[in-house]
Amino acid sequence: MRDEDQDKELFNELSHDGYVGRVLHSIEHGKEKGVVAFFCPGCRCCHLVWTDPERGRPRWGFNGDFDKPTFTPSILVNPQHKMGEPVRGNYHRCHSFVEGGNIRFLNDCTHELAGKTVELEPF
């Protein structure tokens, strides 16, 4: 596991100016730095990941590679519980590990790629 200082060093070396990689885009998100987006082939939409080491939670470790990104820990979109309360009705859940440019979907996803690993798509 990488320590916080290494995270900060790597983060400061990255371009934060709308950089576009093969499968990852650095995006403007208000005043926040280090927000990146990738296209999720399970949800057919983009997910955002916050990588600024100065940020509070949630925040992810990032290997700095815009072509073959790795984030730690897993990325959970629309969890079944919000603030400890179950979400009623239909919900969509996407839970994945992004590792070396691949996205590994866990079995608790509600979309058809649950349990599968696929390459991230350029966008």
Which amino acid is located at 65 in the chain?
D
Residue closer to Zn ion by CB (options 34, 42) is: 42
H/E run at residue 9: helix 4-13
Which span (8-16, 23-31, 55-63, 91-99) binds Zn ion, by CB under 5 A? 91-99
Does 42 sit near Zn ion (CB under 5 A)? Answer: yes
Q: Is 94 in the site for Zn ion (CB under 5 A)?
A: yes
Which of 40, 49, 98, 103 binds Zn ion (CB under 5 A)? It is 40
- Range 56-65, long-range pairs (CB < 8 A, 24+ positions): 61/2, 61/7, 62/10, 62/11, 62/34, 62/36, 63/10, 64/10, 64/11, 64/13, 64/14, 65/21, 65/101
| Options 5-13, 28-36, 40-48, 60-68: segment touching Zn ion (CB under 5 A) | 40-48
Residues in the interface with Zn ion (CB under 5 A) total 4
Work out which of 35, 36, 43, 120 binds Zn ion, going by CB under 5 A: 43
What contacts 40, CB < 8 A, 6 or more positions away? Answer: 46, 47, 77, 94, 96, 103
95 is written with which tokens? 């839970």
User: In terms of CB distance, is 53 or 94 closer to Zn ion?
Assistant: 94
Confirm or reject binding of residue 120 to Zn ion (CB under 5 A): no
- Residues forming contacts to Zn ion in the complex (CB under 5 A) are 40, 42-43, 94
